[in-house]
Amino acid sequence: IRHSYVEILDAKTKDKLCFLDKVEPNATIGEIKSMFHKSHPQWYPARQSIRLDPKGKSLKDEDVLQNLPVGTTATFYFRDLGAQISWVTVFLTEYTGPLLIYLMFYFRVPFIYAPKYDFTTSKHWVVHLACMCHSFHYVKRLLETLFVHRFSHGTMPLRNIFKNCSYYWGFAAWMAYYINHPLYTPPIYGEQQIRLALIIFLFCQIGNFSIHIALRNLRPPGSKTRKIPYPTKNPFTWIFLLVSCPNYTYELGSWLGFTLMTQCVPVAFFTLVGFIQMTVWAKGKHRSYLKEFRDYPPLRSPILPFIL
């Protein structure tokens, strides 16, 4: 077997960091990262970005040395991606926060409202219903993170967790403060409005879960293969005929339901900000589907059927 030589340079300074001799031609980038890690223990594989060009795109772990446009001595450039944290850890932290923060306001723990309201409960049943819905939503997300989602990327930069947590935790506190406030007033159309809102919320939660299951079943365990998602026997997935990312469509619907139920400005604002962010993600996903699959169904929109 012809062995290859691999040299790894720093992408910024062009200093030689590592020279690997006797590398098998069928070695993957993932294996080369592991070898590099042995000589530089501070850079574990998830921190490494290995590229053919200092300013180029990162190579995938699955890429095989002999399939890359390199000679017998391959020169790669290394960039440190910074401290990494697993997606599961990120999601569990992101979602446990809102669950517990909301409950602190619901139980009116001291130092939030005036002392005379400590540990009192609201006289409006919609406040108790809203707490059940909010808690249900985040418990669902936590269970999905543990048992449903398969992550194609194992890690993300550690700094992202601070950004993401401040978003979810901050909004949960802002919403909970007003919904559980002793002066909170229930929705203007009363019981009918709350009932309709609850139906919308639950319908969309079931829909969102159905999409997550359908997406999970597309990807066999341990693989990174991507396929076009199609409707299944479950009627909640039939929206795939019209939308590329119906998980976001249902998520938006859930929060619109919660906004209608609580008739609360911070909730409406959270829904709007979430909608803008999900639209950005959905458009990106839609674009990558179109790029990757020539036979991608032309009728689909990213998030809202025929509109967006």
- Predicted pLDDT of residue 2: 66
User: Is the pLDDT reported for residue 74 higher than 70?
Assistant: yes
Considering the chain, tell me which residue range(s) the CATH 3.10.20.90 domain(s) occupy.
Answer: 4-82
Q: What are phi and psi of 115, to 5 degrees?
A: -50, -35
pLDDT value of residue 235: 97
For range 261-287, the mean pLDDT:
97
Summarised one tens digit per residue, pLDDT across range 111-140 is: 999 899 898 998 999 999 999 999 999 999
User: What digits encode the pLDDT tens for the residues 170-217?
Assistant: 999 999 999 999 999 999 988 999 999 999 999 999 999 999 999 999
Q: Is pLDDT of 71 > 90?
A: no
Binning pLDDT at 50, 70 and 90, where does residue 52 land?
confident
How does pLDDT run across 219-267, given as a tens digit for each residue?
877 777 788 999 999 999 999 999 999 999 999 999 999 999 999 999 9
* Per-residue 3-state assignment (H helix, E strand, C coil) for the chain: CCCEEEEEEECCCCCEEEEEEEECCCCEHHHHHHHHHHHCCCCCHHHEEEECCCCCCCCCCCCEHHHCCCCCEEEEEEEECCCEEEHHHHHHHHHHHHHHHHHHHHCCCCCCCCHHHCCCCCCCHHHHHHHHHHHHHHHHHHHHHHHCCCCCCCEEECHHHHHHHHHHHHHHHHHHHHHCCCCCCCCCCHHHHHHHHHHHHHHHHHHHHHHHHHHHHHCCCCCCCCCCCCCCCCHHHHHHHCECCHHHHHHHHHHHHHHHHHCCHHHHHHHHHHHHHHHHHHHHHHHHHHHHCCCCCCCCECCCCCCC
**How high is the mean pLDDT of the chain?**
91
Nearest to 280 by CA among 258, 256, 308: 308
Pairing outcome for strands 84-86 and 16-23:
unpaired
CB-count exposure of residue 217 (10 Å: 0-12, 13-18, 19+): exposed
**4 pLDDT band (50/70/90 cuts)?**
confident
**Global pTM value:** 0.83
CATH of the structural domain 4-82, one choice from 1.10.3720.10, 3.20.20.30, 3.10.20.90, 3.30.70.20:
3.10.20.90
What integer pLDDT is reported at residue 233 of this predicted model? 96
Render pLDDT for 9-23 as a digit per residue (tens, 0 to 9).
988 888 888 888 878
**pLDDT tens track for 143-171:** 999 999 877 667 888 888 999 899 999 99
> Residue 151: what pLDDT?
75
- Average pLDDT for 22-50: 87
